Structure formats: C-alpha cells, structure tokens
Structure 1
Amino acid sequence: MFKSQVYFPLFPIPLWTPLWSLYFINVHGAPYLEMPFDTSKSFGYDGPWYTVPVAIGSNEQTVNLFPGSQWAPTILSTTVCEDIPDCVSKKGGLYNYELDESTYPNTIGFNAKGVDTVPYGSLFDAEGQNYGQFAQIKVGNGFSRVTIANASISRVESVSLFYGRKEVGMSNGFLTLGAVDDAHAFGSYRPVIPLNNLAKTGVIASRSWGMHYPSAKLNQLPSLVWGGYDRSRISGPIERFDSDSNAVKKMDLIGMNIDTAIGKSPFSYQKKSNLLVNPLSNGKDNVLRVELESALPYLVLPQETCDAIAEELPVRFDRTAGFYFWETSNPLYQGIVTSPSYLSFDFRVSASQNFTIKIPFALLDLNLTAPLVTTTQAYFPCMGARLDTESSDGAILGRAFYQADFIAQSYETRKFWIAQAPGPSYTSPDIRSISMTDISLDAPTSRDDIWIQSWNSTWKVVPFETTRSPPSESSSASSPTSKTGAGISTGAIAVIVKSITL
C-alpha cells in the first residue's frame, strides 16, 4: 500500500457542487446521501448481486459497482476486454479514459500489478495491472445527485482471477466505502476519497455509512446510506465494535451452528453445534478472527469449517471449480433452502457476552454462471481460507454474510455496528444521520419475532407433531455425520416428498 494524507479543500462547499445539491442540503436538511441501487438487473457470476450505478468522467460513463472495500473506487477500463470474446466485464459497464475530457491527468504515478491489481486479489492469485488517476464521479440520484470533480480512482487495465484451474475476468468494479484518510498522496497530486470528500464539504454529516446488502435472488431491496443508516434494516440487537488502525472491521468468531427459527427442523436434530473448526487453534481457544468485507462474495472460512458444514447438507464439492454445489435433484435441497433453518455465527463481544447473526439457508442458495461454469449451478458459498499462521488473518465474511446483517461504520469514532437484518418483508425506510461524535445508533426494540415475521412470506414452516417433543440438540464434535445429507430426518423427507407429489 502507499501512504495517504488528509487534504482539505479551500471552500466549505466546492465550486463544482451543483446548485440543486445545495438546495437539497440546506432546505431539506438531510445530512446523508442514499445511494441508489439498480434493481432492474443483477450482476456477478457468483450471485446474483445488485450494484450501484456511478457516472465516471466528463462524459458521464455509467459503470455498475459492488459496494465494498476502502480508498479509491476500483473501475474497470475498456482495455480489460481487449482480445477477449464474450468478455464478462462488459455487462457492468467499462470506463474509456481516452474519451474523458476532464483536465486531470489519466495517470498520476501510482500503479500496481499482480495480486495487488484489485482488492483481495491474493485470494484468487490475481494477475493484471492498474493505475491511479483523477476522475470526475457523480453519485446519488435525482435531486440528491452530487459531483466529486477530483476523485481518486483505481483504473484496472487488465485483470485475471483464478478459480482452481479456471481463469476468468472481473464482472464489476467496487464503489468503496470511505477510508481513514481523506485523500491519496501521489507526489503533488491529492485526489480525494469520494465518501470522505462529501463529509468534508458538508454534503453528508460525517465520514460514515450504513448498509444492508440483501438477496437479489429473493428480490429484496438493498440499502446504502452515506453519512447515515436506515433504521428499518435493524431487526435484532445491535452491537458496537472497534475497527483496527486501518478501519478494517474485524470480529472474533467463536462458534457456528445450524438451527431452526420456528417449527420442525428439516434435519434429524433441532440444532447442530460445534461447526467452527480453526486449524490454527492447536487444541486451545477455537476463536477465529474474521474480517467483514462486502467486496468479496463468499464466506471465506477454514476449509475444515466449510467441510464440517457441508457434511450436514446435500452438497458436493467440485475440486475443479473449488465450490460446493447444491444437489438440486435431491428433495432435501428444497426442504432446507425453503425452511426456517439457518446457519448461525456466534461472535464474542466481551468475556461475558456473545452476539449472534443468523443466515437463513435461503440466502446461501446462490448461483454460479458463465464463465465459471457452462450451465447455471446452485452453490453453497463457503470457500477455503488461506490463513496466515502468524497473524491468523485470512478468514473473511463477504457478501453472502452481508445479506443477513445490517452494518454501519464511522471513520470519525473508529467504530462499526452490526445487527441482524430483516428478511424480504420489512417496514418502510427510516433514514437517520450519523453525526461525527456518534458512538451508538438509535435502533428499534429488539424482538426475535420481528425477524421471524419478516421471513414468514418466504419460509415453509413444518409444525411439530403434537404427540412428540422437538428433536434434541446435536454436536458435530460428538456425533459427526459420515456422508452428505446424513443429518436430514426421514420425517422431513416424507413431508417434502408428499408436497411434491400433491
């Protein structure tokens, strides 16, 4: 990485800010900016995922970006598709810097190659080349649309990612969510970080954001607010954590379980515990340090953990692709992904307090498409992590995790917040700003039934038999399953088969 420093503009509101955006700020008194997602189409060969459209350059070239990562937005250049037929990157929009008539230089001295070409490129043995540059960026929508004239961007000229033996390009770039500093330092150049610049110029209340990045497959509406958050996207207890010195969001994962929110479990047990396996624990504390990052699509966990979870599911591991494919012809598949069963993540808040996020299996039923596979495949998004034996870094909870939670972050106070997010049914938006000094967020009263109600329209609940008590808890440590799907109950099979034949 390169060293960055703060750059303060000479004017409280820059001269390039449109007059209508001043009206929006001063009259409507809304010190936040709702970032519009384009929900008319989705992107990604491992999703689907919604994106945020952003206009780049003086001629406003539209590119569709995944929200995630920090510092300069990652923008794919038209050169990434040179001599590549059916280039996967074209669908999301590409930036032709030669058509950009802005007065800023196209390159400003910084470039990176190989795994540093894109964020988290080392996970995919990335190859390629990028360049730092100034660019005009327009974000927002309608009367809340604003312009950042001297934004820093990372222009990717070429990139290849490797999934096993498969080489593919990137589908989309990234709309970054701020940084610890307000500008990059490239010699005499000081291109600004978009979110930070809007805070410095008073367009938003603070260097902060709040997001719920839900399922495009279930047609859930996403929410991303710069300088604020949507209170309606909180449907459980909210916890506050400290980010590290680089404002990276990390937590201690202490357990993973399979459980069922309501009704009868499709498994032979109501709850399966001890699914988290940390190969670096050496028989001691099984705590796994995990990073939260929406730039990545997957649950990047120790391979041993992915395997332990997969043992409970009707999935098979494809070594060529490196993914777990759902066995969609198995009736157990539909029974699980439509049930109120979920994969839970237990985090340590303090020595005496834990915190849980629940991901329904409906959100872990994603699709792989070309060019990763020749025909669409349903997959379970757990990917083996490359854990650093010294720092223990390498485990990352990506977009698949973000579908189920609300996350907000403040660079002012170096805090981030996390809470359970609702399912497909939730109340109307309730946008709040995040001030420069906020260390807590106003959240609704926490009730588990609110979260369950938000999923009622999606789940198929199987009631308990009145003559029998619920199945007991099972532990993978004491009673491991020996084959795929071995944890599914025969009673659940009968119910599922009956529903299919009716």
Structure 2
Amino acid sequence: MVGSTGTSIIEQMKKTGLVTSNSFGLHTGSAALGQGGSLVIGGYEQNRLGTPFIFLAEVTIGVETGRWPFNTSERNMGGIWEGTTDAAGLRASSLLGGRIGSVVVSPNPAVPGIYLQGPTCANAAKHLPVKWDDRLKYYLWDTRDPAYWAIVNSGAYLGFVLADTQATNVTIKVPFKLLNLTLESPKGEAYEAPDWARPPSHE
C-alpha cells in the first residue's frame, strides 16, 4: 500500500484529511463459509495501540477436534518452524526483544497471503496434499488427493505461536478450511491451473 511518493496510501489519506489516523483494522472473511470481511481505514482497536512488538516463534500443524486427517499415525507433528537465518531479520528481532530464531510479525492488508520462509513451507508441504506451482510461486492444493477433502473438512489447523518481549505465548489456530482458497486470473492475464489444482466438478 505504498504510493508513488514512497508513503503509504493511508498516510496520504491522513494528510488530505480523509481519515484521522495512519491506522487500519482488517478482518479477513471466508467466501466458502459465507463470512464477510471488513477493512476499517483510519481506525483501530484502542486496546491494541502501543502494545509491544509481536514475534512469530513457532508454526504447528494440529487438529482441534475430531478425527486425524493426515497420512501419519502420530497425532502430534510438533513444530514445523525453521526460524530465520536472514541476518537483517535476526538483527531486527534481537533489537526489538524477540527470542532467538523468531521474526517480527508485520501485518499487511495489501499482501494477498501469508509469507513464511521457504524451509517452513517445505516442512508443512511434507504433511499436506499440496504441490509447488513455479509460475505462481505458491503451493496449491492437489484437489485430486483424497487427503485434500479430509483435511479441509476437518478440525485441522495451521497454528502460529506468537510471543511478546516477555515471552508470553499466544497460539492462533487457522483452520485449513479457511486456507482452502480458489485463485482467479487477474484481468488481462491468462493462467491455466494444472488439472490437479482445479476444484473438482460436483455435477
């Protein structure tokens, strides 16, 4: 959300008086579950203002309730987080009070996805029916794999363990049902999804 002047769009809106603060609140909905999203520009939750920096310390895969849909007998996969080896990221985390190997969390509503380091994504892919698409640079669900339906229709989740400077942990569990997204080609761009990544027909 950075404009041609190098400042964010929200900052530009603040300068012109369209909003009162350079802040936003974002809730991502789910088309599959009929949940609408919302974006409030120039607003925020007062209890979150001025809170300490938050660090991503671990990523996990698990099941909150119900049957185990993964192709493994162990019901506890443990963490899949590889930490960071990026010198700038390590320095920033250390300077801001994060534990070794953690990274500073930076919410960005302009980015249409979750960015995690390659090794962490590769670890997750070992347990999921996904394949790498080299053109999109994304992992896509293999919708022909029976495990695909089992996982996205279960209580399975991708867990993000967040920590503050006091090492207080909070785990946010994102159901795989909410990570079951359908990509559409932007206007003017033709992209033919591989057969294995297309949503199955229910005719």
Task: Return the TM-score normalized by structure 2.
Answer: 0.72
Whether 2:69 is the aligned partner of 1:266: answer yes
Superposed CA offset, 1:251-282 (max 9, x none)? 31000001111122212333322211134179
Distance 1:275 1:294 in 2: 25
* 1:285 match: secondary structure: coil
Once the two structures are superposed, residues 453-498 of structure 1 have per-residue CA deviations (whole angstroms, 9 ceiling, x without a partner) of: xxxxxxxxxxxxxxxxxxxxxxxxxxxxxxxxxxxxxxxxxxxxxx
Task: Write the distance in 2 (CA, Å) between the matches of 1:372 and 1:305.
Answer: 30
Match of 1:354 in 2: 169
State which of 174, 178, 182 in structure 1 corresponds to 2:14: 182
1:321 to 128, 136, 143: 136
- Kept after mapping to 2: 8 A contact 1:325/1:378: no
Using a 3 Å threshold, how does the CA distance of structure 1 residues 378 and 287 change in structure 2: closer, same or farther? Answer: farther
How far apart in 1 are the matches of 2:193 and 2:26?
32
Shift of 1:217: 3.3
Contact 2:80 2:124 in 1 (8 A): yes
**Equivalent AA in structure 2 for residue 212 of structure 1:** H
Q: Counterpart of 1:257?
A: 60
Change (3 A) 1:348 1:255: same
In structure 2, which of residues 70, 83, 87 is the aligned counterpart of residue 278 of structure 1? 83
Deviation at 1:208, TM superposition (A): 5.5
Q: Match of 2:159, SS?
A: strand
1:374 is the counterpart of 2:192: yes
**Of residues 126, 147, 156 in structure 2, which corresponds to 1:341?**
156
Report if aligned partners of 1:344, 1:359 keep a CA contact under 8 Å in 2.
yes
Query: Residues 182 and 355 (structure 1 numbering): CA distance in 2 closer, same or farther, change over 3 Å?
Result: same
Structure 1's unaligned 5+ residue stretches are 1-68, 75-110, 120-175, 184-190, 200-206, 231-238, 245-249, 380-502
Indicate how the Cα distance of structure 1 residues 226 and 313 shifts in structure 2: closer, same or farther if over 3 A, else same.
Answer: same
Q: Do 2:26 and 2:109's aligned partners in 1 also have CA atoms closer than 8 Å?
A: no
Percent sequence identity is: 28
Structure 2, unpaired ranges of 5+: 91-98
Alignment pair present for 1:195 and 2:19: yes
Amino acid aligned to 2:140: F
Secondary structure, counterpart of 1:299 in structure 2: coil
Partner SS for 1:367: coil
Q: Contact (CA 8 Å) 2:58, 2:161: kept in 1 or not? A: yes
Would the aligned equivalents of 2:66 and 2:154 in 1 still touch at CA under 8 Å?
Answer: no
Change (3 A) 1:229 1:314: same
Contact 2:56 2:161 in 1 (8 A): yes
* Matched-pair contact (CA < 8 Å) for 1:365–1:378: no
Aligned to 2:125: 310
Return the letter of the residue paired with 1:211. Answer: L
How many Å separate the matches in 1 of 2:62 and 2:32? 23
| Higher normalized strand content (fraction of residues) | 1
> Would you say the 8 A contact 1:262–1:340 is kept in 2?
yes
- CA-CA distance at 1:324 after TM superposition: 1.1
Q: CA deviation at 1:372?
A: 5.8
Distance 2:75 2:28 in 1: 28
| Equivalenced residues, count | 181
Q: Which amino acid in structure 2 is aligned with residue 324 of structure 1?
A: Y
Corresponding residue to 2:33 among 209, 218, 229: 218
CA offsets, 1:27-82, max 9 Å, x none?
Answer: xxxxxxxxxxxxxxxxxxxxxxxxxxxxxxxxxxxxxxxxxx47xxx7xxxxxxxx
**Are the equivalent residues in 1 in contact too, given 2:82–2:119 (CA < 8 A)?**
yes
**Could you tell me how far apart the structure 2 residues matched to 1:222 and 1:258 are?**
25
Instruction: Provide the residue aligned with 1:134 in structure 2.
Output: none
Q: Distance in 1 between matches of 2:67 and 2:49?
A: 35
RMSD: 3.5
Q: Is the 8 A contact 1:209 1:224 kept in 2?
A: yes
> SS at 1:271's partner residue?
coil
Once the 2 structures are TM-superposed, how far is the Cα of residue 378 of structure 1 from its aligned partner?
5.6
